Amino acid sequence: MSEPTTEPTSQSTPADEPSTDDLTRVVARFDDRDLLRAAGYVVGAEDAAVDDEAVIYSRGGYRAGIVTKVGRVNVTVTYTTETAIREAADPRYGWTEPARTTKAAKFAEVAVRPTGEAAAPTLARPSRRVTGARQVDHNNECVGCGAHFSEPCGPACPFETGTYRPAVLLPAAARRLREHPAGVGYDIGGALFAAALDLVGADEAAGAADEARQILTGSLVDQWGPRAEEIRAEVVYRHGLFSDLADLARSLYTAAARHDGIDFDPEAFGEFPASSATS
Ligand SMILES: [Zn+2]
């Protein structure tokens, strides 16, 4: 991509400092560009202005923050992280403001949220379509709405509306858990991908599986505490190594409930048979 030769679209304002509230509001980390696009960001910051939301690649991930400077070829983004926010809230650390990082990159390497968009969902908006047939879980209940298989789905169920919701993939994966091909533990990533293939089709499967994995990671880190944050990229894999099928299934349901803002109900979950894996 050639460098722009026109006048800068915006003046730099180095004194401009985003508030902690603003940084906290937009905080997010994406593993790849597909995920940040799914979250509504558009790659290319030629038209960015100070105070816009933007995503910049830094320290191994795509970080969402606020534009603090727009130059002729570069844009500068200030961001914070979930870890920094957690540390700032932890009395064992000696500070109360989350640490922030400022980084500049070329326009083409920064993504922005188009103006007029609503603020910061950290995960994909429901643009995927459910293309597969209704799936029932170990209780013979629809993974999308909880209706018993003998009853029709509720009107808001993804299998009814066709609009995909990320959390539906997690319970759908529970019965697809298989022993890891390497022979140790269970392959959670494989189960998520297999469920995604059935729900949203091959084109969307990888993105949907990644997204569900992020939801599960967030839920596990939440339960396991700050030490899990340090091994964030590994928690799903480790969980598969060291937990039994029923625990894994419970974790998938717990993560889905957490994502949807409801409490996991152990009674509704019932018993997950140790050998329920079906094809
Ligand atoms: Zn349903």
Q: DSSP string spanning 200-267?
A: H-HHHHHHHHHHHHHHHHHHHHHHH-HHHHHTGGGHHHHHHHHS-HHHHHHHHHHHHHHHTT----HH
Note whether 47 and 114 are same-domain residues.
Answer: yes
Q: Containing H/E element for 267?
A: helix 266-269
Structural domain ending residue among the three candidates 71, 97, 123: 123
Contact predicate 139/156, CB 8 Å: no
pLDDT at 95: 63
In angstroms, rounded to a whole number, what is the distance separating the alpha carbons of residues 140 and 125? 28
**Residue 181 CA to ligand 1 centre (angstroms):** 31
Task: Specify whether 69 is located in the same domain as 167.
Answer: no
Bridge partners for 54 per DSSP = 65, 112
Do 272 and 172 lie in one domain? The reply is yes
Checking if the pLDDT of 276 tops 90, the result is no
Structure token digits, residue 58: 């830094």
Which band of pLDDT confidence, cut at 50, 70 and 90, is reported for residue 90? low
Between 104 and 19, name the one with better pLDDT.
104
Q: Output the CA 136–ligand 1 centroid distance in Å.
A: 8
| Residue 130 is assigned to a structural domain of this protein | no
Assigned domain for 64 exists: yes
User: How much of the chain, in percent, has pLDDT values that exceed 70?
Assistant: 85
Q: Per the domain annotation, does 14 fall within a domain?
A: no
Residues 31 and 118 in one domain: yes
Reported confidence tier of residue 37, pLDDT bands at 50, 70, 90: confident
| Residue 141 lies inside a defined structural domain of this protein | no
- Residue 272: inside a domain, yes or no? yes
Q: How confident is the model at residue 199 (pLDDT cuts 50, 70, 90)?
A: very high
- Between strands 29-30 and 101-106, the pairing is unpaired
Query: Is pLDDT of 84 > 50?
Result: yes
> What pLDDT is attached to residue 44?
92
Is the predicted pLDDT of residue 278 greater than 50, yes or no? Answer: no
Is residue 203 assigned to a domain?
yes
Share of the chain above pLDDT 90, in %: 47
pLDDT band at 14 (very low <50, low <70, confident <90, very high): very low
Please tell me the distance from the alpha carbon of residue 83 to that of residue 171, in angstroms, as a whole number: 28
Which domain-ending residue is among 123, 143, 178? 123
Q: What is the pLDDT of residue 61?
A: 87
Please report whether residue 70 resides in a domain.
yes
d(CA 161, CA 172): 17
Q: How far apart are CA 250 and CA 177, in angstroms?
A: 12
- Ligand 1 centroid to Cα of residue 158, in Å, is 7
Q: Is the pLDDT of residue 2 over 80?
A: no
**Last-in-domain residue among 106, 123, 140:** 123
Q: Is residue 131 part of a domain?
A: no
For the ranges 2-6, 83-87, 182-186, 226-230, the lowest mean pLDDT is seen at 2-6
- Mean pLDDT, range 12-25, rounded to an integer: 68
In terms of domains, do 113 and 173 share one?
no
- Quote the ligand 1 centre to 156 CA distance (angstroms): 8
Query: Do 164 and 86 belong together in one domain?
Result: no
Q: Where are the alpha helices (DSSP H) in 98-201?
A: 158-161, 169-174, 188-200
C-alpha 48/C-alpha 66 separation (Å) is: 10
| Domains in the chain, number | 2
| 97, 176: one domain | no
Residues with CB under 5 A from ligand 1 (ion): 142, 144-145, 153, 157, 159
198 and 95: one domain?
no
Convert the pLDDT of each residue in 112-164 to its tens digit.
987 654 444 444 444 789 999 999 999 999 999 999 999 999 988 999 999 89
Q: Which residues pair with 103 in a beta bridge?
A: 77
Q: For 66-73, what is the mean pLDDT?
A: 92
Q: Ligand 1 centre and the CA of 129: distance in Å?
A: 14
The pair of structure tokens assigned to 265 is: 């109900």
Residue 262: φ, ψ to 5°:
-125, 165
Helical ranges in 8-126 per DSSP H: 20-26, 33-38, 82-89
| Sequence-distant (≥ 6) Cβ neighbours of residue 151 within 8 angstroms | none
Residues 86 and 186 in one domain: no
- The whole domain housing 71 covers 20-123
Q: Give the pair of three-digit tokens for residue 234.
A: 């590994």
Beta-bridged to residue 127, according to DSSP, are none
Rounded to an integer, the average pLDDT of 252-264 is 91
